[in-house]
Structure 1
Amino acid sequence: MSDPYERSAEYLDIMIAEAWEPLAPALADVLGLVRAGAGAVVDLGAGSGRGVRVICRALPNAPVLAVEPSAAMRSVLLARVHEDTGLRERVTVLPGDCASTEWPDGVRAVVALNMIGHLPPGERRVLWSRAAAQLAPGGLLVFNVTPPFAPVRMERVRMAHVVIGEMEYEGWASARPTGADEITWRMDYSVLRRGRRLDGVSVEYRWWVAGEEVLASEVAAAGLALRRVGDPGLGLCVVERANEVPAPLG
């Protein structure tokens, strides 16, 4: 399988740092909803491991299976896990993807942040079915959805700017429709010193889009229910068994 992050992994961890500032406490709040238990937590598309750190702090006794298909991203993830004794004792890093990686039964939580768009509709449905079969009672799956929710053109915008020493790192994003429920993102990364570009790379990858109604219908077909949680701007969604969704207050 081709690795869309093979050429851009050098930049991704620093580029997403700012986005994780609100996302990390929001994820911790969601994991606080998980009932006490001994099951593992599965982090799908664990990337460079920022979510792994949040999981381990929020659920201090849970083993974590960090699943990451990109060898380039796993190198960053493994380094982050290895340098922290607490993570090294609890986190297992696995190659593979949603379909190919085995989970234990009785999973306490599944975290799938910033990765649902990598899954075509058929693979999303496989994920919902696996969650329905393997989540422990009271367990949940948390993921996020961000615009666009339909295949539309996204004009080029700067998504990140980071200064490290004398170097500036910039990331620019744009997208174009490439299917009935698909866009292709183009990411341009540049490295500058004193305003002069020294290095950079451009990459493209496919991304499947879906609105909340479509996703809610998919999870319902698997016997699950979807609800939004937290700040609407973060797009966090929790998926649980339909008979375990908390009743509304009031």
Structure 2
Amino acid sequence: MEYHEYSASSEYVHLLSVPMWTDLRPRLAAALAGVDPEAGPVLELGAGSGLGTDVLLDSLGNDVLAVEPSASLRGVLLARLADRGTHRVTVFPGGATDLPLPGRIAAVVGMHMVGHLAPTDRKRLWAAAAERLSPGGPVVLNVQPPTAAEAVPESPWMGVAVGGLRYEGTGSAEPTGPDSVRWRMRYRTRHEDGTVLAEASAEYSWWIVTAEGLAAELAEAGLVATVDDDLVVARKAGA
């Protein structure tokens, strides 16, 4: 089943995501230190345009199994992989719960995507991944606000300039249940004189989970998790 939530916004997603990786990139690389290159592939959930994939390729010697359900974002990811000239990444065209997991997994990474998974789907995925995870292999996930099902007012426009145009985005959310919200994102392309040349919008559902709640889910799967602000790193007990 095709995933269309990012179809209208894929022109903007990569550009607007780059700044947040300034802080995240070294933290993710540190969490992955010591991953055994012979222990199997690294499973990357919700690879998007490949900003996390870059970290995996630059930090590790493992092959990468990148999962991305959005055809639009896969197009960006595949183009960027082609530019790198790498054959170490296999891009699976589906969601995290659609993937037939390999028998061995060296590590699991999921950045900016956990809220797309319903609680029952998350728990099944953590359990299945934990069974295949190599000793000492990390599961590295992060969480995003909000931490409760409450309205989020529209944020100030943020953006980046490319040539003579500026690509901008903003977002807001409304609760849809006791543990979920629906995000509404707006995007625009502006000329340097302020003229808006193009606009787009996207909506998607988001399940609320805190870092502590995510750590508890991973513990149910037999993993021992530590929390560092928005980052959760878990390993098998005793590993």
Task: Indicate the TM-score class for this superposition, using the shorter chain for normalisation.
Answer: over 0.9
* Counterpart for residue 130 of structure 1: 128
Q: What residue number does 1:72 align with?
A: 72
Q: State the alpha-carbon separation in 1 of the partners of residues 182 and 10 from structure 2.
A: 18
Paired with 1:212 and 1:166, the residues of 2 have a C-alpha distance of 40
2:4 alignment partner AA? D
The C-alpha deviation readout for 1:46-72, integer Å capped at 9, x for no partner, is: 00011111101110x211111111101
RMSD, matched Cα: 1.4
76-85 or 216-225, which moves further after superposition?
A: 216-225
Indicate if the aligned counterparts of 1:184 and 1:207 stay in contact, CA closer than 8 A: yes
Partner of 2:89: 91
User: Structure 1: which 5+ runs fail to align?
Assistant: 245-250
Q: Determine which structure has the larger strand proportion and give its number.
A: 1
Task: Name the residue aligned to 1:238.
Answer: 233
What TM-score, normalized to structure 2?
0.94
CA distance in 2, matches of 1:217, 1:56: 29
Report the count of equivalent residues.
Answer: 237
Equivalent residue number for residue 27 of structure 1: 28
Distance 1:210 1:159 in 2: 25
- Structure 1 distance, partners of 2:224, 2:188, is 42
Q: How does 1:1-250 map to 2 (within 5 A)?
A: 1=1, 2-35=3-36, 37-59=38-60, 61-85=61-85, 88-158=86-156, 160-193=158-191, 194-229=193-228, 232=229, 235-244=230-239
Q: How does the TM-score come out when normalised to structure 1?
A: 0.90
CA pair 224-148 structure 1, distance change in 2 beyond 3 A: same
Distance in 2 of aligned mates of 1:147 and 1:94: 27
Q: Name segments (4+ residues, structure 1) moved above 4 Å.
A: none
**Secondary structure at 1:100's aligned position in 2?**
coil
Q: Which whole-Å CA distance do the structure 2 matches of 1:36 and 1:63 have between them?
A: 8
Contact 2:214–2:232 at 8 Å: present in 1 too?
no
Q: Which moved more, 1:217-226 or 1:124-133?
A: 217-226
Whether the aligned pair in 2 keeps the contact of 1:65 and 1:93 (CA below 8 Å) is yes
Q: Is the 8 A contact 2:171 2:185 kept in 1?
A: yes
Question: C-alpha separation between the residues in 2 aligned to 1:93 and 1:159?
Answer: 32
